[in-house]
Structure 1
């Protein structure tokens, strides 16, 4: 069999393979491997257990995004996200309160731990600190590598939790249109990416819930975006004042030269992560929010069947091809037969009206959401068309 150069390069670039490990060893021996950093992702706790996750990788050297950054700066930032190597096989010490564990990163640089608490945490929705320390030396010039992350505690009784997709649900992404998606990924950053109109105020209303006497409702984000753009998504959500919450993203499978496959293909990982949330929070019911472009309706339908009487409502934003929307309508009818309220929406206002009539959010939030809708409509024209 002839040697295939393209196949070799492809395998060499792909993480999670022996070729990836060889490439890391070569870079380390030649002194090309950058200083490692720990990137903690937001963990979560049900008051009795804690789930913590993070990543070890080369320092990407990314600057905070600015609206005035030129397209080439945004392209360089995206390039750095995908050429920085993940570092597997290293030990990380994790501390949360008086608990401690040592875990090892996998071939993709990812690590996680699940800790059992001796005493239940106080009721409410709030964030606590977790600390991380890299125990192994990766490069000669390495000093102490430490990091601090957050854990969202969800303890006690809550009206509901929210599980939302991100691409084409919160943030305009054009996931079903390759060229438009490429343009956004390459030329935009967290400050210039655009949310759907009114989403930030609507999500804040869902977080607040109905009345001051209740705990806030926890927000979770499950997306087919890859962990490599975690910083972009969290910066975007912070800048747009979208309620903070754990992001559960996709394990990296594609390299910088395969933009067209990002957020496409099989989305079973989203199903697995949503299942985990339902199991980890057995006393919490959920509102599910997604779009018609990435199999969200089918995933939510399976969740409804696997966890009966725990889905309070489903909101699906209609995007993409007519065939997707037709299939979504059929799935929505099946959900309604299970007595789950389903709304297929073209804009945020429709979801707001339903959430108010269902008692999910307070009517007092209407003026704030209306102002946000007007503001988003006005400011969407400040950037080049999506």
Structure 2
């Protein structure tokens, strides 16, 4: 179900300078071959949202997870050495439908594809190709494959932040965040105690037989960390889901990692809620950054579509502000839980009838 990327290797002769560059790229496990990356998309019975990146230079997938600080450091740094392919022409194929879209300055592409007929619930394949705009005849430079999810018509959809919501990240302190990010890896890092069990219960809450509630993970973490987060989630047994991350950052912007813009995260959440007007949402976040403010504004905008808001307490300085926002959420008639331990959030889910004991 994961993204498949196939660079179409250029077999022309390489200059000495090119060979030296290729040697150092190989040492860093980078490739300078064009690459198309298709992320997990999503849709309903009328349309699909498909998105991805095209890169001139990108990191090769990590295969071994040795918990050595220097190895972990290099493995993360190379994720920020990507070079996007701006204004590239991408041909997206879904079934018999074929659409062309151009990447933006960050090599990112996104399109809404109308459906000619409803699809069955589950994952469906999608292909994308990078097409040369200068070569004749038309040449495919790279291709990638991904998946789009049509959720089952369950009652609930879960929408969760990532950093300090289920992944211990120290987002409120940049020095601590960088230390953890640069010295550990997707296998050595740990989720908060009890959070996986809680999420697994929410995935099955009132979902019916042979179905589960879909999870959307919307974060200020950058697309650079997509594979890193995906591997962490898989390794720790978190519910499979869709990831909506923040724009790419370069190595020079590493100190700003995890600091996405407030409005872009709101926009991503609103897009998801609008896609599924007949389902209710369970929102999960933490108080280290803007989640309480964002979720309160979402509840104000969609009071009938939000079933419950969970906020993890990780930053003592934000406690008074968060309690005030949670009181506003409750006043609107939406259940909320401000908790320090996942066991308390799980018990709250039992108390309000979301999950069974």
Q: Same fold (TM over 0.5)?
A: yes
Q: CA deviation at 1:160?
A: 0.6
Q: CA deviation at 1:59?
A: 4.3
Selected match of 1:215 from 184, 208, 211: 211
Q: 1:197-244: per-residue Cα shift (whole Å, max 9, x none)?
A: 122222122112236437311100000001111111111111111112
Q: CA deviation at 1:361?
A: 2.2
* 3-state DSSP of counterpart to 1:127: strand
Selected match of 1:62 from 60, 63, 79: 60
User: 1:42: which partner in 2?
Assistant: 40
Residues 357 and 205 of structure 1, relative CA distance in 2, 3 Å threshold: same
- 1:266-277 to 2 correspondences below 5 Å: 266-277=261-272
User: Do residues 205 (structure 1) and 207 (structure 2) align?
Assistant: no
* 3-state DSSP of counterpart to 1:221: strand
* 3-state DSSP of counterpart to 1:238: helix
In 2, Cα distance between equivalents of 1:318 and 1:307: 24
User: 1:347: which partner in 2?
Assistant: 341
Structure 2 length-normalised TM: 0.86
In structure 2, list runs of 5 or more residues that go unmatched. Answer: 1-16, 22-30
* 3-state DSSP of counterpart to 1:148: strand
User: Do residues 311 (structure 1) and 303 (structure 2) align?
Assistant: no
The question of whether the paired residues in 1 share the 8 Å contact of 2:131 and 2:140 is answered with: no
Bigger drift between 38-47 and 58-67 goes to 58-67
Q: CA deviation at 1:62?
A: 3.0
Q: CA deviation at 1:138?
A: 9.3
Selected match of 1:285 from 280, 287, 295: 280
User: Do residues 88 (structure 1) and 83 (structure 2) align?
Assistant: no
In 1, Cα distance between equivalents of 2:207 and 2:271: 29
Q: CA deviation at 1:188?
A: 1.1
Q: CA deviation at 1:154?
A: 1.8
- The runs of at least 4 consecutive aligned structure 1 residues that moved more than 4 Å come to 30-33
Residues 260 and 144 of structure 1, relative CA distance in 2, 3 Å threshold: closer
User: 1:97: which partner in 2?
Assistant: 95
Q: How many residues get paired?
A: 327
In 1, Cα distance between equivalents of 2:322 and 2:184: 30
The question of whether the paired residues in 2 share the 8 Å contact of 1:190 and 1:233 is answered with: yes
> By percentage of residues, which structure has more helix?
1
In structure 1, list runs of 5 or more residues that go unmatched. Answer: 1-29, 364-386
Note the aligned Cα RMSD (angstroms). 2.1
User: Do residues 242 (structure 1) and 238 (structure 2) align?
Assistant: yes
User: 1:370: which partner in 2?
Assistant: none
Residues 197 and 350 of structure 1, relative CA distance in 2, 3 Å threshold: same
Q: CA deviation at 1:357?
A: 2.4
User: 2:296: which partner in 1?
Assistant: 301
